């Protein structure tokens, strides 16, 4: 695990953490002498420099076996995190999910795929998948395939795979790559209408294709991973990833709703997802909401709650406990030493009610891992034992107190848009903020960008 962390930070990392994004961080399964989770995480626009060479073997893409051994080393996203950490019973979670109330229901009403997050040219080719199809069909709209995996095998650069509403049992594997000008897009034609119910203890959807989008799906199952991505230039957007039950138990393998798992890959974006009930809050230190080990990428406009350790944090709540996890962590790993995190931005996040910590910089014992150019700006942080903990520099524009959501409920049944009197209204930074919020509302709606995943006023 140490060498894997070193490989990540031995290279220059560019990422953008912008408003209305939550931040997830990596807890790699251990604690230091003070009880703090050992994490390695980087956030946008970040560059990490090291004086020591990376281990050659560690810099290679992780195999399924090595990933299982190492767990997640790093990463986080930016702006708009709402994190609140109250553990709910399994029956409470199941009941909430069955009804899809509150924020989850609200978000589901947006049926279009996030065009702003990843504007792409019109597809040259189209393939279709439906529950009444057959993998011996030709994949046309009249004769659709039955599985996404079959459509993925038939896809080529410039293809959109349209998946009709319905339940698709079994795991999905996508391997073919698109190009910068001709991406491959897997799209649920009805947002959250195509329901992927995986099996086994590992990933429900595994992607190895570069320039691939996975958008609009409902993904659940017994495994430790919702979407496991090994590729570069990918987009995971507008998905509902939830109720991963971790049937393999709490191990060093960790878990996540979605993870960009290859340290040498780059530019994996996670935008507009709703992620919740990933393990059980406080049950496993290595289980996160959204996790990215990529060089670069954006994590924005996500809503994350009831995650075992760290969320991701856009609008994020009910993650971790007083003993583990929390809101946003930035830092680097413990080996080979001499590694510093630089030019990382954490801004426009709402980070609330994480019992252990809100936003914090972290280094392994004896390390001086925080370099120059790291900024923490214009975040609303409250309800944590430590609100903002900086090892180097100081946070600016931090707002405390009640975020004044329309209706806050840590179970996910609330409405996490802002009331007109919220201190987060018109207090966000415009630079690098997404041009729309999680519901597709244009930013800014008023005189300035609102902090958080929602542009309310």
Residue 105: which pLDDT band, with cuts at 50, 70 and 90? low
Decide which of 257 and 92 is more confident: 257
Q: What contacts 378, CB < 8 A, 6 or more positions away?
A: 347, 348, 396, 397, 398, 399, 427, 428, 429, 451
Residue 332: which pLDDT band, with cuts at 50, 70 and 90? low
Burial 64-81, CB ≥16 within 10 A → b, else e: eeebbebbbbbbbbbbbb
Position 42 pLDDT exceeds 50: no
99, β-bridge pairs: none
In 3D, which of 209, 238, 204 has the Cα closest to residue 219? 204
Query: Which tens digits make up the pLDDT trace of 206-256?
Result: 999 999 999 999 999 999 999 999 999 999 999 999 999 999 998 878 889
Residue 191's pLDDT is 95
Rg (CA), the chain: 20
Q: Report, as an integer, the average pLDDT of 155-174.
A: 98
Contact 382, 401 (CB under 8 A): yes
Query: Which tens digits make up the pLDDT trace of 333-350?
Result: 544 556 677 777 888 988
Residue 312's pLDDT is 58
Tokens of 92: 């409470």
Residue 321: which pLDDT band, with cuts at 50, 70 and 90? low
Tokens of 158: 């410039």
d(CA 26, CA 422): 30
Q: Is the peptide bond before 444 cis (omega within 30 degrees of 0)?
A: yes
d(CA 124, CA 446): 38
Residue 337's pLDDT is 59
Q: Report, as an integer, the average pLDDT of 27-32.
A: 25
Residue 177's pLDDT is 98
């Amino acid at each position: 695990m140490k060498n894997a962390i070193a490989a990540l930070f031995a290279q220059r990392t560019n990422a953008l953490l912008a408003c209305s994004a939550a931040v997830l961080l990596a807890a790699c399964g251990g604690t230091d002498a003070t009880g703090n989770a050992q994490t390695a995480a980087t956030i946008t626009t970040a560059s990490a420099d090291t004086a020591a060479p990376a281990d050659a073997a560690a810099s290679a893409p992780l195999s399924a076996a090595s990933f299982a051994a190492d767990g997640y080393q790093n990463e986080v996203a930016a702006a708009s995190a709402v994190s609140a950490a109250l553990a709910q019973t399994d029956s409470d979670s199941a009941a909430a999910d069955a009804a899809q109330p509150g924020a989850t229901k609200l978000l589901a009403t947006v049926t279009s795929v996030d065009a702003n997050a990843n504007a792409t040219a019109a597809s040259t080719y189209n393939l279709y998948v439906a529950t009444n199809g057959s993998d011996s069909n030709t994949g046309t709209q009249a004769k659709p395939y039955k599985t996404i995996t079959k459509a993925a095998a038939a896809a080529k650069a410039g293809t959109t795979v349209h998946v009709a509403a319905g339940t698709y049992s079994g795991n999905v594997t996508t391997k073919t790559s698109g190009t910068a000008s001709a991406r491959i897009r897997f799209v649920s034609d009805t947002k959250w209408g195509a329901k992927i119910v995986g099996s086994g203890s590992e990933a429900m959807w595994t992607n190895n294709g570069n320039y691939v989008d996975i958008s609009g799906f409902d993904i659940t199952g017994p495994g430790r991973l919702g979407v496991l991505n090994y590729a570069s230039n990918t987009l995971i957007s507008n998905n509902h990833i939830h109720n991963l039950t971790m049937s393999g138990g709490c191990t060093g393998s960790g878990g996540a709703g979605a993870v960009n798992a290859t340290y040498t890959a780059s530019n994996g974006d996670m935008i507009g997802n709703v992620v919740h009930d990933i393990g059980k809050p406080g049950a496993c230190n290595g289980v996160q909401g959204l996790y990215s080990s990529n060089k670069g990428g954006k994590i924005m406009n996500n809503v994350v709650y009831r995650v075992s350790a760290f969320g991701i944090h856009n609008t994020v709540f009910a993650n971790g406990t007083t003993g583990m996890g929390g809101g946003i962590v930035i830092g680097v790993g413990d080996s080979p030493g001499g590694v510093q995190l630089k030019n990382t931005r954490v801004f426009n996040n709402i980070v609330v009610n994480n019992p252990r910590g809100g936003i914090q910089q972290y280094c392994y014992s004896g390390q001086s891992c925080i370099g120059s150019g790291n900024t923490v700006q214009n975040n609303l942080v409250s309800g944590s034992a430590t609100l903002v903990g900086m090892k180097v520099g100081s946070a600016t524009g931090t707002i405390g107190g009640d975020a004044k959501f329309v209706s806050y409920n840590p179970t996910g049944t609330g409405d996490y848009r802002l009331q007109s009197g919220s201190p987060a209204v018109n207090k966000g930074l415009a630079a690098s903020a997404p041009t729309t919020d999680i519901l597709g509302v244009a930013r800014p709606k008023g005189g300035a960008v609102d902090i958080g995943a929602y542009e309310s006023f």
